[in-house]
Every structure is written in structure tokens, then in C-alpha cells.
Structure 1
């Protein structure tokens, strides 16, 4: 098998697979096509008991779920959506909502959050393990991070699967993984250092478990 040409973040984000991704653009908060269904979490219940709840949604698409949550949460809530493209049709955001157009690979928040989500977004991120490590430190002490993750998208430098060592390292750092649902969860913010060095990504890896074309992330041992 020929070795793929691995791309750095700027080139990867211009690739057809990433730039044209529509995986999470229209998903709402609850219902059939929703965050609640995809993540198996009652998101409002995670936030409602807090006096000033905060939610960061990575790869937020149109931000529908955040907008719906804004009307249901108390005054003082902080909702942040980060997406490479952002809403395709700009519209006024509720006071609680900040919509940021940026790459999640380089963006960093100025605060911590009670809830962090990434619904199918990691499939289009080059350094998936790096983003997960960084996001762990963005959680409050009792916050929850929930994200979809495909271990088979993590590769060694020679192209072989690094799924088992990647999952072992994530679990050792405190993550829980549902194989059936392809969901990672982490409770409680912390510093995470995973034993991998990012090499680059292949946007031509083909479909993943969703049936949609996705990115493969290549790593060497740190």
C-alpha cells in the first residue's frame, strides 16, 4: 500500500473532505436528529442546576442546539460554538451565545466549561488526540466532555491501526469509551498528556463507521 501524503492543518482544512463537511450542520438539542440522541446525554440536565452554566460546542455547525439551549437556561449562561465555517446564513445570536469561526485545532478558550461536546467533529480533525488532550483542561472540576471518536482513524506512521494503544492511553487518562456508540466521555477537568506525537492527516482515508468520508490521523510514539 503506498504511503499517503500527510497534510498539516491549513492544507487539511482546505481539503474537500473537511471544507465541505455537513455532518453536524442542522442537528438540534433534542428529538430524532439531536445532540441528546447522538450523545446519550440530557444536556440541559447537565447544566440546569448550575447558577451560571457554561457549554462549549466544538464543530458546532449552524449552532441550532446552542440556540435552543440559550432559551432554556438561566440568565448568566455562557454558550460558545466553534466551527471552521460557522453558520452559513448569519443571524443575530442570543445574548448568551458566542459563535466563533475558527479551527478547533488552534483555537483556545479563555475560560473553562461545565459541558464540552463534539458531535462527529473529530472525524474531520487532524490531531484528534491533541484536541482531546487540550479539551480535557478546558473542563471545570466536575464538568463533562462528550465526543464521538473512531479509534480506527488513529494510525501508526506505517499506516497500521493504532486504535488499541490510543484507547488504552485515553482510558489511562480517565476517559470512558463506548464501543457500540463510538462515544468518549470524561468527567472532571485535568491536564492530559498522551504518549503520541502527531505526524499529519490523510483526508483520503475513505469512509469511517458513519459511512461518510473521514480523516485518518497519523502518530508516532512520543
Structure 2
């Protein structure tokens, strides 16, 4: 079924950029994301996620594993590693820590593009605290991250559906959320939190077209990236830059 018509000149979206270009944009390669967010308290992972990651890990056996995507300075990870010396904790960030400090045993902070990075193990907990807002092909990352979970693992990430768009700029949030729920994700509109329990292969019916780093502020009040997709079964737009 075709649910998108060919674009007219008036419908053309902003100039989309590929993810290779996106990673160098100031909105994405920023030095603010999760720089001061700690494990518990007011400005914390516990508050943003709705649970204490360290307590969650403690309940997953003697050597649990946590992957935090877009980890920034990794302050929360440092605290969790000190509380759980047997845990394996990995933080991945495009910019990486700006303050040099030796990580505790069990903590690895990696500077890498999440669009290209993949782990060598599975994790009991995968988090992305307000990080998807700066990822171009965020649906692909969610597909891949679902396969990085253990059988009893939990993935939690903040998602702003209003920044998911068709090639003509129209809202794609409902089809995306419907597709995510169909493969096992749960979305809380109140908290803008997307979650998945249990690792599994995931395929979402959308083709990534590119991103708009000039989309402006999202619900957080901070500049964010809008991601453009073509639903499978729709007519490819003339300006598809893939």
C-alpha cells in the first residue's frame, strides 16, 4: 500500500544530511549531554529512568552488565562501578569524557559513533538518557540495541516521537510507535520513555532518508535532530539521498 505521494516543491523538507556529516554538527557533537548527571538525586539517571540502575544491576546476579549509550562524562557509571565492583559497565559517547580520570575496575568509557559501534557481549541493562535526540538513524540503533540485551535484560531510552517524520516533513510518530509496540517495545508518553524487556531480533518497516540537525528544540527545550524515514511500501521520494 502506498501512503506517501511524490513531493511537490512546496513539500520539500529541509536539506537532509547523512549520518557521517551529522556527527560533526555542533548540535550532535556537543559537550553538554550527560556531563553532570549523576547516579541518584535531583539531576540523576535514577530520576530520568524511573529506577536506580545500580539496584537493578544488583538484582541480576554477581556479575551484571550495563551499557549506557551517549554516556557523556560517565559520572553515573563511575558511581555504579564503585558500588558494584563485579559489574561490567560500558559507556559509549561520540565526544567522550572531557575530564580525565582513571575509571574504576569494570568500567570502560568508549569514544565512538554509535551508528558504527557494536559490543562484543550482551548486557542486562542498556540505557540511553536523552541521547536518541541526537542520533540520526535512531530506529536502526534501537533495532541493533535490542539484539545486545540478554534474555532477561532491559533497554530504556528517551524518545521524542514528534521528531520522526516522513519525507515531506509530516508526522510519522503513530506508525513508528505502532511498529515498535508490535515487536515488543513499550512507550510511556508521560515520561517519553521507550523500553524493551528481553533481547530479540528486531526489524522495523522504515527506510532511513537522513536527518535535519536544524530542527530546533524538542520537548526538553534543547536543540535536537529530526529523523526522516520512508515507510516500507511507500513510493521513494525523488530526493532520497541514500
- Per the TM superposition, whether the score is higher than 0.5 is yes
Contact 2:85 2:106 in 1 (8 A): no
Deviations 1:100-156 (A, max 9, x none): 000111110000000000000000000011101110000000000010000011001
Counterparts of 2:13 and 2:52, CA distance in 1:
43
Provide the secondary structure at the position in 1 that maps to 2:133: helix
Task: Identify which range, 210-219 or 17-26, moves more after superposition.
Answer: 17-26
- Structure 2 distance, partners of 1:73, 1:10, is 36
Which structure has the larger Rg over C-alpha atoms? Answer: 2
User: Partners in 2 of 1:176 and 1:3 — Cα distance?
Assistant: 30
Gaps of 5+ in 2: 1-9, 233-242
Name the count of aligned residue pairs: 221
Counterpart check, 1:175 vs 2:185: yes
Q: Distance in 1 between matches of 2:53 and 2:99?
A: 25
Where does residue 90 of structure 1 map in the other structure?
Answer: 100
| Residue matched to 1:64 | 75
CA contact (8 A) 2:31 2:95 kept: no
Offset at 1:74? 4.0
For the residues of structure 1 that align with 2:78 and 2:58, how far apart are their CA atoms? 15
RMSD: 1.0
After superposition, give the CA deviation of every residue in 1:138-182 in whole Å (9 maximum; x if it has no partner): 000000001000001100111101000010011111011110100
Unaligned runs of 5+ in 1: none
Cα drift, residue 20 of structure 1: 2.2
